[in-house]
Amino acid sequence: MFYGNRVAIIGIVLNLVPYFLLVRNQPVAPLFGIDITLPETHTYLSSLVFLFFNICLPFAVIRVMSSLERQATLNQQQSQKLNKLVNRYQEIFNNGGTPSFFCDQQGKILQANRSARQLIKSYAPSCQYIQHLFEIKAPLSAGVKQQAHIVNNDNCVFEIQLASLLHHKKQLIHCFDVSSTTAKVKKFDAFKRQQYEKHYIDSLTGLKNHHFWKYSESAESLSFSNCVLLKLANLKEINLQYGHAQGDKVLAQAATLLESTLPSDVQIYHFPGAKFLLCSKSNRADFCTWLWQELPQYMQQSMASSSRFLPLIWRGGHTKVTRIKAIESIIESCSIALTQTSSDLPIFTFDSNTVKSIREHTQRKDRIKQLLEDGHLSLHLQPQVSMEETIIGFECLARLKEPNTGNILQPYQFIPIVEENNWHVLLTQKVVEGAIHLLEHWPSAMPKVPLAINLSGPELLNDVFYEKLLRRYSESPTLCAYLKLELTETSVLASHLDTKRRLTTLANIGATIIIDDFGTGHASLAQLIDISASVLKVDREFVDKIETSERHRKIVKMTLELARSLNMQTIAEGVETQAQLLVLKGMGFTLFQGYLYGKPGPIEQWQNQASPAEPTLVQENTLS
Q: What is the 3-state secondary structure (H, E, C) of 98-153?
A: CCEEEECCCCEEEEECHHHHHHHHHHCCCCCEHHHHECCCCCCCECCEEEEEECCE
Dihedral (Cα; 278, 344, 352, 294), 10-degree rounding: 20
pLDDT at 398: 94
CATH class of 96-182: alpha beta
In terms of C-beta density within 10 A (0-12 exposed, 13-18 middle, 19 or more buried), how is residue 26 classed?
exposed
How far apart are alpha carbons 553 and 546 in whole angstroms?
5
Using CA atoms, how far apart are residues 22 and 522, in angstroms rounded to an integer?
Answer: 156
CATH number 3.20.20.450 given to 369-622 = yes
Instruction: Assign domain 201-350 to its CATH architecture.
Output: 2-Layer Sandwich (3.30)
For residue 84, what pLDDT is reported? 80
Beta strand 483-488 with 513-518 is parallel
Note the pLDDT of residue 304. Answer: 56
Phi-psi sector, 517: left (phi>0), alpha (psi -120 to 50), beta: left
518 has which bridge partners? 538
What is the C-alpha separation between 261 and 296, in angstroms, rounded?
7
Q: What is the pLDDT of residue 188?
A: 74
Q: Compute φ and ψ for 451, nearest 5 degrees.
A: -115, 140
Whether the pTM exceeds 0.75: the reply is: no
Q: What is the C-alpha radius of gyration for the chain, rounded to an integer number of angstroms? A: 55
What is the model's pLDDT at position 170? Answer: 79
CA-nearest of 261, 156, 152, 276 to 205 is 276
Q: How far is it, in rounded angstroms, from Cα 376 to Cα 361?
A: 20
d(CA 43, CA 20): 10
Q: 396: part of which helix (H) or strand (E)?
A: strand 391-401
For the chain, 624 residues long, the average pLDDT of each consecutive 10-residue run is: 62 65 56 55 62 74 82 88 75 74 87 88 88 87 84 87 69 84 73 72 89 84 89 90 88 92 91 92 85 87 68 92 80 90 90 81 91 92 93 94 91 91 92 94 91 88 92 90 82 65 89 83 61 87 90 91 91 93 94 93 85 47 34
What are phi and psi for residue 531, nearest 5 degrees? Answer: -105, 135
pLDDT at 152: 86
The per-residue pLDDT for 359 is 83
